[in-house]
Amino acid sequence: MNIGIIGAGIAGLTAALRLTKAGHQVTLYEGAPFLGGQASTFDVGGGRLEKGYHHLFTSDVDIINLIEELGLTDKLAWIDSSVGIFHGGKIYDFITPKDLIKFKPLSLFSRIRLGLITLYLRRYKNWRSLEKYTASEWIRKYAGAGAYNVVWGPLLRGKFGSYFDKVGMPWLWGKMHTRLASRGTGLKGMQGEKLGYPMGSFAEIFEELEKKITHAGGRINLSTSVRDILIEDGEAKGVLIRGVDGKDFAEYHDKILSTTPSYIFDKLVPELPDHYSYKLKNVDYLSAILVILVLKRPFTNKYWLNIADRSIPFVGLIEQTNFVSPELYGGNNILYISNYLDESNPLFHFSEKDLLEEYIPHLKKINPLFDKSWIEDWYYHKVSAAQPIIGKNYSERIPEHRTPVKDLYLANTTQIYPEDRGTNYSVRMGNLVADLILDDVDRNA
Ligand SMILES: Cc1cc2nc3c(=O)[nH]c(=O)nc-3n(C[C@H](O)[C@H](O)[C@H](O)COP(=O)(O)OP(=O)(O)OC[C@H]3O[C@@H](n4cnc5c(N)ncnc54)[C@H](O)[C@@H]3O)c2cc1C
């Protein structure tokens, strides 16, 4: 079979690996001039760094298995992480139940309640029963107003902006399961959290996937945006792409898999029936806006700092060099200033320089010693479709991987549920959709 795949992020590459290994002729089309989509990297200080911070949890078994299959297990380091929360002008450790007990901004009663709720969610399996709540509703009801006002409310507002009260409770449930599975209790012998990182960056995984796919006869076309998916008599037949001469031309396939965001897919296939198109249009996305500072000295002693203070216009500080060595980046310290925004937020439209200037006074609130002169260099990245907003009762509205158009498949982050999107789940989805395609090939053989 001749199979076309749109998008060379981790989902498209994983599906391509499976399908080439099964003996099919696969062609990947990627609009960007690089592999890896949302997990792609750029060069800094002689090393490679993700445009948006990336790590793995110990529960990320699908990508851990892929890394093993690619022969890269030796590169996957499991590193102690450090997590804090900034509240009321102070940084608190916020990783183990012991840290929670010491978290003074909450009353003792609220701390105990939040601790019990956290443990409960970590063990709780029946996420379907949570679907009828938004995360805001559920936390207020079960963890109480204290935990909501001090911890979860500011974090939800920071992460989801005007959508803070729309996000379904399974999102929070998924976070508890993935993140907390990587954590100990803070008691003796069960310290902190281990997070995974492929030394040399996530690009190591993408390059190895590329090698294996091309070795098995697959083709990967970078800088090749698909402009249209060609449908004849209700069946997918090919893709329309723009050649180097600026003219569009068609390439034909027996089956086509798109890993593009839903709003792009909807435009590529205007023939989709309303009931399916409705599901695509029904999910909003936020973009990730990242300012990355290359600093002469460390900013904090935390890898991950949640900002639970909504007078500060960003949601998190991720200090990569409190996770891996500054030596990887020429001895520099790397600090991500992270935000998730949509077009309704004025910060979304700020110029790169203006955004940096906007942030600097707020950095001083967190580390009063910080001075602009610490900044050696800085970068700005905008990652579109970074975070789908998954609302209540979402299981009824997930678009199917097999679309209503014959021989046309979709695999994107809006189909990851109940967990939050992440590279692990895109690998799982890439494997799953490749299996669906192989089943359909067998059935029609
Ligand atoms: C700031 C940030 C931090 C994150 N942190 C983590 C983390 O710590 N751990 C983790 O596991 N995950 C993390 N993630 C999530 C993870 O990066 C994504 O879930 C995953 O990379 C999605 O992969 P994908 O292949 O499904 O989609 P994408 O990576 O979005 O791939 C889709 C591809 O399709 C291409 N495309 C779109 N339209 C067209 C077209 N018309 N023609 C051709 N190509 C097209 C795009 O260019 C893109 O390369 C993070 C994401 C962000 C933004």
Q: What distance in angstroms lies between residue 36's CA and the mean position of ligand 1's atoms?
A: 7
Q: Please give all residues whose beta carbon lies within 6 A of any atom in ligand 1, as ranges.
A: 6-12, 29-32, 37-39, 52-55, 225-226, 259-260, 264, 288, 383, 386, 412-413, 421-424, 426
Q: Is 354 exposed, middle or buried (0-12, 13-18, 19+ CB in 10 A)?
A: exposed
* CA separation for the pair 438, 433 (Å, rounded): 9
Of 269, 280, 277, 257, which is closest to residue 231 (Cα–Cα)? 269
pLDDT score of 9: 98
The residue whose CA is least distant from atom 3 of ligand 1 is 52
Tokens read off for 174: 């998924």
Nearest atom in ligand 1 to the alpha carbon of residue 264 is: 38
Structural domain count of the chain: 3
What domain range includes position 160? 80-196
- Per-residue model confidence as pLDDT tens digits over 367-396: 999 999 999 999 999 999 999 999 999 999
Distance CA 349, CA 343 (A): 7
Q: What is the pLDDT of residue 182?
A: 64
Does 132 reside within a domain?
Answer: yes
- Counting ligand 1 atoms within 8 A of each CB, the residue from 280, 340, 423, 431 with the most, and so the one to mutate, is 423
The most distant pair of C-alpha atoms in the chain lies apart, rounded to whole Å, by: 69
pLDDT of residue 176: 83
Probe target for ligand 1 pocket from 28, 34, 54, 226, with the most ligand atoms within 8 Å of CB? 54
**pLDDT given for residue 185 in this prediction:** 46
For the CA of 340, the closest atom of ligand 1 is: 1
Give yes or no: residues 137 and 41 share one domain: no
Q: What is the pLDDT of residue 444?
A: 84
Q: Residue of the nearest CA to atom 8 in ligand 1? A: 54
Same domain, 113 and 34: no
> How many whole angstroms from 439 Cα to the centroid of ligand 1?
26
**Dihedrals φ, ψ of 5, to 5°?**
-125, 130
- pTM of the predicted protein model: 0.96
Ligand 1 atom at minimal distance to the Cα of residue 52: 1
CA of 98 to the centre of ligand 1 (A): 35
Q: Is 209 inside a domain boundary?
A: yes
For residue 275, count other CB atoms closer than 10 A to its CB.
9
Whether residue 353 is contained in a domain is answered as yes
Alpha carbon distance 198, 75 (integer Å): 5
Domain boundary among 196, 229, 257: 196
186/101 same-domain check:
yes
244 plus 289 within the same structural domain: no
Q: Determine the atom of ligand 1 nearest the C-alpha atom of 429.
A: 26
Q: For residue 268, which of 279, 258, 278, 254 has the smallest C-alpha distance?
A: 258
The list of the chain residues with pLDDT below 70 reads 178-191
44 and 134 together in one domain:
no
CATH assignment at residue 303: 3.90.660.10
93-125 pLDDT, tens digit per residue, is 988 878 888 899 999 999 999 989 988 888 888
Cα 9 to averaged position of ligand 1 atoms, centre (Å): 6
Ligand 1 closest atom vs CA 424:
11
Tell which atom from ligand 1 comes closest to the C-alpha of 51: 1
Q: Say whether both 274 and 405 belong to one domain.
A: yes
Note whether residue 71 is domain-resident: no
In a domain, 208, yes or no: yes
Residues 39 and 100 in one domain: no
Q: Is residue 137 one of the residues assigned to a domain?
A: yes
Report CA(411)–ligand 1 centroid distance (Å): 11
Q: Which atom of ligand 1 is nearest to the CA of 411?
A: 26
